[in-house]
Amino acid sequence: MALQPGAAQVQPSAAPDQAETGRSERRRQAIIKAATEVFVQHGYLRATTDEVAILGEAMQRLADRGLLQGLADPDLAAYQFAGLVMYQPMNQVMFGGTDALPPADQLNRIADAAVDTFLATYG
C-alpha cells in the first residue's frame, strides 16, 4: 500500500521491551563508567576505601536519576559491587602471586558479570 502525498504518516512508537532494553543499557553503561573511574585510575586491585566511597557517591547519583532502585546504602552497594569485581582476581593474586592476575579479556568478563549481578539486585 503506497502512501499518498500529503497523507499523515504515523511513526510506530518504540515497543516497551525496546524502551526497557535501552534503559537497562544506560544503567549498565553508567555503572561501568562509575566503576572505571575508580578501578582503572588506580589499578584493578588497588582501589582504596576512599575510592570505593566515591563509587558509592556515583551510585547515589545514579539512584537519584532513577537508574538504580532500592539503594538504601550507597556505600554498601559500592562495596558489594567492588567485591563482585575484585574477588576472583584478588584471590588469584593472593594465592598465586602477581603472575596469576587474569588477562585483560578475563578481567572484562568478570566486570561484565559483576554488572549483571549487581543490576539483578539494584537495576
pLDDT by residue, tens only, the chain of 123 residues: 333 334 333 344 445 566 666 767 777 777 777 666 666 555 555 667 777 788 889 889 889 988 889 999 998 998 898 888 888 888 888 888 878 888 888 888 888 888 889 989 988
- Confidence (pLDDT) at 64: 92
> What pLDDT does residue 55 have?
84
Please report the pLDDT score of residue 41 as a whole number.
Answer: 59
Residues 44, 89 contacting (CB under 8 angstroms): yes
* Gap between the Cα atoms of 32 and 41, Å rounded: 13
Q: Residue 86: count other Cβ atoms within 10 Å of its Cβ.
A: 21
Burial environment of residue 59 by CB neighbours within 10 A (0 to 12, 13 to 18, 19 or more): buried
What pLDDT is attached to residue 19?
63
Closest CA to 87 of 103, 110, 65: 110
The three-state DSSP-derived secondary structure of 36-60 is HHHHHHHCCCCCCHHHHHHHHHHHH
pLDDT at 43: 58
**DSSP 8-state assignment for residue 70:** S
Whether this prediction's pTM lies above 0.75 is answered by: no
